[in-house]
Amino acid sequence: MNLPSVNLIYFSPTGTSRKVVKAIGQGLEAKQINEFDITQTDFECKNFGNELTIIGVPVYKGRLPVEVIPRLKHFNAENTPVVLVAVYGNRDYDDALLELKDVSTALGFTPVAAATFIGEHSYSTESKPIAKNRPDEADLLKAKQFAGAILTKLEKNDGLELNVSGNYPYKELPNAPVMSPGTIAAKCTLCGVCADACPVDVIEVNKTVITNAKACIWCCACVKACPEDARIFDAPLINQITNNLFENCSERKEPGFFI
Ligand SMILES: Cc1cc2nc3c(=O)[nH]c(=O)nc-3n(C[C@H](O)[C@H](O)[C@H](O)COP(=O)(O)O)c2cc1C
């Protein structure tokens, strides 16, 4: 099957969801790939017709990152076939894929396939690595194989509703304390890379770096992007989460497919 075009929509503060979605997209060997990166607020919107679309997002607390939903609502679809991808940090994806299915269906998409992949955890550190360097070569090969399976399914056109894992009611989101990564002034060159990387525009760089912790989503885009390792998320709760993940979620998990 030759697809004329495929749309890729992704929210990916630390780049792992983007990698997975692009690998699946390339595996589809469409003539044209259109990318809609909704990680930053200045993305283009589109009304989609019947061209295949892939939506990829990270799992936050077993759910969709909350700011993903209003961003996805900028897109309209009309029975547009969609492939749903949830990328998680080797703990669990809980209800995120089900929530993504429900949100995309409400926007007019028709889910035809879904997958879960593993990405290096946002809170992984040098000393406590969690899913370090995932997605790796083996994951990207699985992404390509998944693309092949999607093409076969589209050819069959069986019209069956897609079932994915997850439960109702969705996992409750815990109350999050107000906090954010901070900057080690002695290392910081005020280059502004952290502010550019922030998906929710909460970092201001002038004579110092000021972060509006109230609106921070803890995604660690700024930490991973800082060229001087001057941005760190050194809070007791985050250190406790990292320790807990390192202790309990180090065993390699594998991608899962719903097709
Ligand atoms: C606030 C927050 C919550 C997260 N919750 C989960 C989770 O519930 N389960 C999990 O396995 N990983 C969780 N992660 C890890 C991310 O899903 C994982 O690192 C993913 O690869 C990040 O995607 P990105 O690189 O596209 O930003 C969480 C990360 C953040 C920042």
From the list 116, 7, 111, 13, the residue with the least C-alpha distance to 54 is: 7
Q: Is 27 in the pocket of ligand 1 (CB under 6 A)?
A: no
Q: Are 67 and 200 in contact (CB under 8 A)?
A: yes
ipTM, interface predicted TM-score of the complex:
1.00
The kind and range of the H/E element at 225 are: helix 221-225
Q: Which among 9, 88, 173, 237 is the best mutation to test ligand 1's pocket, defined by most ligand atoms within 8 Å of the CB?
A: 88
Listed in sequence order, the residues at least 6 apart from 210 whose beta carbon sits closer than 8 Å to its beta carbon are 203, 204
Helices (H), 115-210: 137-156, 193-197
Backbone angles phi, psi at 29, to 5 degrees: 50, 45
Q: How much is the pLDDT for 170?
A: 98
CB 189 within 8 A of CB 211: no
**What integer pLDDT is reported at residue 64 of this predicted model?**
98
For residues 91 and 60, the answer to whether their CB atoms sit within 8 Å is: no
pLDDT in tens, 69-113: 999 999 999 999 999 999 999 999 999 999 999 999 999 999 999
| Closest CA to ligand 1's atom 2 | 60
Q: What is the whole-number distance in angstroms between the Cα of residue 86 and the centre of ligand 1?
A: 10
Judged against a pLDDT cut of 90, whether residue 40 lies above it is answered with yes
pLDDT at 1: 77
Instruction: Please state the rounded mean pLDDT for residues 36-61.
Output: 96
Please tell me the distance between residue 155's alpha carbon and the centre of ligand 1 in angstroms. Answer: 34
pLDDT tens digits for 208-244?
999 999 999 999 999 999 999 999 999 999 999 999 9
CA distance 121 to 88: 7
pLDDT digits (tens, 9 = 90+) for 182-214: 999 999 999 999 999 999 999 999 999 999 999
pLDDT for the residue numbered 158: 81
pLDDT tens-place string over residues 6-28? 999 999 999 999 999 999 999 99
pLDDT digits (tens, 9 = 90+) for 146-196: 999 999 999 998 878 899 999 999 999 999 999 999 999 999 999 999 999
Evaluate: CB of 39 within 6 angstroms of ligand 1: no
Instruction: Compute CA 56 distance to the chain's CA centroid, rounded to the nearest angstrom.
Output: 6
What is the C-alpha separation between 173 and 184, in angstroms, rounded? 31
Indicate whether this model's pTM tops 0.90: yes
**CA separation, residue 112 to residues 28, 55, 85, 165, 249 (Å):** 14, 12, 11, 14, 30
Cβ within 8 Å of residue 27, ≥6 positions away: 143, 144, 145, 146, 147, 148
Q: Best substitution site from 60, 64, 67, 165 to test ligand 1's pocket, by max atoms within 8 Å of Cβ?
A: 60
Nearest to 225 by CA among 251, 188, 172: 188
Domains belonging to the chain, first-starting first, are 5-169+254-258 (3.40.50.360), 182-234 (3.30.70.20)
pLDDT for residue 29 is more than 90: yes
- 130 CA distance to ligand 1 centroid (A)? 11
Span from the CA of 122 to the centroid of ligand 1 (angstroms): 6
Among residues 107, 66, 87, 75, which one has the least CA distance to residue 22? Answer: 87
CA angle centred on 141, ends 223 and 21, rounded to 5°: 50
Closest ligand 1 atom to residue 96 Cα is 8
